[in-house]
Amino acid sequence: METDKKLVLGLFGFGVVGEGVYSVLGKTPSLEATVRKVCIKNIGKKRNAPKELFTDQADVLLNDPEINVIVEMIDDADAAFRIVSTAMNNGKHVVSASKKMIAEHLPELLELQRSNKVSFLYEAACCASIPVIRNLEEYYDNDLLHSIHAVVNGSTNFILTRIFEDKLPFKDALLLAQQLGFAESNPTLDVEGYDALNKWSFLLTHAYGILPGRERLVFTGIQNVNELDAGVAAKKDCVIRLTAFAKKLNNGKVAAFVLPKFVKQDDLLAFVKNEYNGVVVESSFADKQFFYGKGAGSYPTASAVLSDISALRYHYKYEYKKLYYHTPGELSNDFYLKVYVGFTEWKQVPKNDFESIEEWHSNDRVNYLVGIIHFDKLRKSTWWKEDGVSLIVDADPLIESLDVTRLKKRSLELAGYNG
Ligand code: HSE
């Protein structure tokens, strides 16, 4: 695309994000981008834009030679992939906000970008308003990046905040997140951690060159976190956040997962409330850096889409530097995690899976233990995702190596615990 060539846009979707993008484009005339057509599913629905702009025929946009950029903001991952792949094959640049589609198809999307020599940008797909993809891609050299620790889902963070601060029941907090336009149309994707997993899988590609990560990542959401867990968290001077975590281990491999976590009140992520997202990056020399901003909602997401559209003016492309120019990172399952497990009955927890149990409480009010478990044991089991079991990682959860003999002894000494 020539620098002075006007951006002529074809938009797919006119929901929370699509309408937001249309609106912010109207407020940024300096971008000199015009919307030529908007493709929507339900053509009969009244919209806040001129009627003649809309069509329900995808090909009208995809085959229009005047349109040089497709902006895809629809909810259906399969349809989104068909749209963006056809657009790229037709020589159009693409901006997308479809995290599920990107997580499911990243290898094919990399090939489409390469073979068609087009840009495919998706800053809005992770942490909405926070420019985290471009920063990881451009700023942090592989060796400099020690760890990333983040809240990447606005809805679950909103729900946890409302439960902790207003004592709102889970269902009411979720309903509010839906009404405010933060949640996915299928909110299970938020609540059970799939949305965070999707985002984390491609963020790991930009951070460490790990591809694809999704199938191999251990994850869960906040579906089993309850008020008893919140009470334990408060006693430990912590809040609970659904966090995405990645850390380079001493052996050079990367530990990564998406799990609820006890976060100390003075931790930067405790400051991240409601629909906000936050990303704490630890790197050599710079120590800690903190990115913070709205992670869901119409305008915050639209701002990232707008920034991608604007980047097309100077031919910006992701280079996937960590994947192509460095030795790609490798996930490790060989480390330990310190975890809290809330449960209703002892038999739900296979105590022999633990290297050590440091705390356990079981009475008519609370049932929980705090113990150390090998990550691979967690990865290969599902008991911790069952109803009535809530697994929450400790405030400082990662242990690279253990003196197992010492731990077993200490475990046995603990208050006559024998399961
Ligand atoms: N449902 C998503 C969230 C929207 O709550 O974070 C932004 O990706």
The alpha carbon torsion through 366, 370, 371, 377 (nearest 10 deg) reads: 70
Distance 337 CA to ligand 1 centre (A): 27
- Superfamily assignment of 142-294 in CATH? Dihydrodipicolinate Reductase; domain 2 (3.30.360.10)
Distance 156 CA to ligand 1 centre (A): 9
Distance 171 CA to ligand 1 centre (A): 17
Q: How far apart are CA 409 and CA 404, in angstroms?
A: 9
- Write out the residue limits of the CATH 3.40.50.720 domain(s) in the chain: 7-121
Best CA proximity match to 307, nearest among 133, 56, 63? 133
| pTM for the model | 0.95
* Ligand 1 and 153: CB distance under 6 A: yes
* Options 199, 247, 253, 322, the catalytic residue: 199
Q: Whose CA is nearest to atom 7 of ligand 1?
A: 296
The alpha carbon torsion through 266, 268, 274, 277 (nearest 10 deg) reads: -170
Q: Whose CA is nearest to atom 1 of ligand 1?
A: 183
The fold of 7-121 is Rossmann fold (3.40.50)
* Ligand 1 and 296: CB distance under 6 A: yes
- Write out the residue limits of the CATH 3.30.360.10 domain(s) in the chain: 142-294
Instruction: Kindly report the backbone phi and psi dihedral angles of residue 59, in degrees, each rounded to the nearest multiple of 5, phi listed first.
Output: -65, -25
Distance 182 CA to ligand 1 centre (A): 5
* Ligand 1 and 128: CB distance under 6 A: yes
* Ligand 1 and 394: CB distance under 6 A: no
* Ligand 1 and 190: CB distance under 6 A: yes
pLDDT tens, 301-348? 999 999 999 999 999 999 999 999 988 999 999 999 999 999 999 899
- Give the model's pLDDT for residue 1: 47
Ligand 1 atom nearest residue 277's Cα? 6
- Give the model's pLDDT for residue 282: 95
Omega before 212 cis (within 30°)? Answer: yes
- Give the model's pLDDT for residue 213: 67
Distance 177 CA to ligand 1 centre (A): 10
Mutation probe of ligand 1 site: the residue of 153, 156, 161, 276 with most atoms within 8 A of C-beta: 153
Ligand 1 atom nearest residue 157's Cα? 5
Q: How far apart are CA 79 and CA 69, in angstroms?
A: 17
- Give the model's pLDDT for residue 364: 81
* Ligand 1 and 184: CB distance under 6 A: yes
Distance 294 CA to ligand 1 centre (A): 10
Q: Is 199 a catalytic residue?
A: yes
Q: Is the distance from CB of 383 to CB of 377 less than 8 angstroms?
A: no
Q: Whose CA is nearest to atom 8 of ligand 1?
A: 296
Distance 101 CA to ligand 1 centre (A): 14
Ligand 1 atom nearest residue 158's Cα? 5
Q: Which residues of the chain have pLDDT under 70?
A: 1-5, 142-143, 212-213, 404-419
- Give the model's pLDDT for residue 81: 98
- Give the model's pLDDT for residue 244: 98
- Give the model's pLDDT for residue 413: 55
* Ligand 1 and 298: CB distance under 6 A: no
